[in-house]
Amino acid sequence: MNQMVISDETLDLTFRALSDRSRRAILQRLSEGDATVSELAAPFEMSVPAITRHLNVLEAAGLILRQRDGRMKRCRLRCDRLGLTEDWFGAQTARSNNSHTRRETVTASDQGQGATSAGHPFVAGTPPDRELKYNAEISP
């Protein structure tokens, strides 16, 4: 996993950028190689200024770089930022898998002791005095 911690603000910007179908298509196109703004606008029924607004969102999220090449601006995908987001998803998946494994172990051992599901609304067999806590911190 990448050793950098991704901040909540960075995640918010990234998810906002990825929430739009056109921006995801732009990223997909840039995964094939650099492109000018005009080249990115070509497959869409959008004006260059509209594409530029999408590119501003992607750039603010750190997902692309824009560089001037003479009179044109070339766009490039920033794989490092996508990698951080992928690492964040991986950490969440690992946490979820560990949590499910712990719950299954607790449930199996508690059911062996005759416990019921009345103790916790989400996990059958968890006694009422046992709490499952969510850890919102992102560890490297």
pLDDT above 70 (res 120): no
Collect all residues with Cβ–Cβ distance below 8 Å to 22 and sequence separation of at least 6. Answer: 44, 46, 54
Choice between 71 and 4, residue whose per-residue pLDDT is larger? 71
For the segment 111-133, the average pLDDT, to the nearest whole number, is 45
Q: What is the pLDDT of residues 15-74, one digit of tens each?
A: 899 999 999 999 999 999 999 999 999 998 888 899 999 999 999 999 999 999 888 899
DSSP secondary structure of 10-60:
HHHHHHHHHTSHHHHHHHHHHTT--EEHHHHHTTTTS-HHHHHHHHHHHHH
Q: pTM for the whole thing?
A: 0.62
Task: Just give the CATH number of 8-81.
Answer: 1.10.10.10
Please report which confidence band the pLDDT of residue 82 belongs to, taking 50, 70 and 90 as the band edges. Answer: confident
Distances in Å between the Cα of 62 and the Cα atoms of 22, 83, 100 are 17, 11, 33
Q: Which residue has the tokens 């080249």?
A: 39
**DSSP label at 121?**
S
Collect all residues with Cβ–Cβ distance below 8 Å to 43 and sequence separation of at least 6. Answer: 25, 29
- Write down the domain spans for the chain: 8-81
Mean pLDDT of the chain: 76
